[in-house]
Amino acid sequence: MTSSDTRKGDRTELLVTEIRQAIIAGELKPGSTLRQEELARTYSTSRMPIREALRVLAGEGLVQLAPNRGAIVAPIDADELRENFEMREAAELLAMRLALPHLSNAQIDKAAALQDRIANAGLAEFGRLNKAFHLTLYAPCERPRLLAHISSLHDVADRYMRFTLARLDYLVKSSDEHQAILDACYRRDTEAALQQTSRHIVDAGRTLESYLLEKTASREPSA
């Protein structure tokens, strides 16, 4: 690989990070068109790395690509949300089961410190800190592909969690659930850690799914 190829790869990776964050933060609205020319101007680059970045984000589920129609920000969708929290539950329980026998008190302390920051953070910081909390506990599983998969699922989930936290006042409940997970990890109680992790993921997902379905139903015209 040439130095030019490396620079192009680095530029694309940086664009993926910046556009991903804009989507998660809601700066790029669900369903909005992503015009390559406009993005190229916004990020002071050419269309080629923009095109590659959009392909990466489509693979993550944050962008939708349609033939002859270009790209749009993936809509907020109850079906996608359900799939996301089902996949998160399966992947994160596997990571927790593999990690817990090797999890040190220092690593749990690090997760606890992140939870302290979450409790005092604003909505804009929640997703990043929440992902770091969970990945800190899963790190000893030593499954890099699994951890990368979980990280990607968290990026998609973050858009939905912002709706939950902002509209349904879910932050206190989420913090209580994090504390229950930490307590189980300190005790090295595998079954409790798995149970608390499952409840944390599924309850949040179902709460938001119900909210989205009710919101959709309220917009439908009466027969």
pLDDT value at residue 166 = 65
- Domain hosting residue 204, numbered range: 78-218
Q: In this structure, is residue 223 part of a structural domain? A: no
Q: What is the CATH number of the domain that holds 179?
A: 1.20.120.530
pLDDT value at residue 55 = 94
Instruction: Tell me which of 16, 41, 73 is where a domain ends.
Output: 73
- pTM for this predicted structure: 0.79
Q: What is the CATH number of the domain that holds 22?
A: 1.10.10.10
Residue range 88-105: average pLDDT? Answer: 98
Instruction: Tell me which of 73, 99, 129 is where a domain ends.
Output: 73
pLDDT band at 11 (very low <50, low <70, confident <90, very high): confident
User: Do 9 and 55 belong to one domain?
Assistant: yes
**Cα(first)–Cα(last) distance of the chain, in Å?**
61
Number of domains within the chain: 2
Q: In this structure, is residue 155 part of a structural domain? A: yes
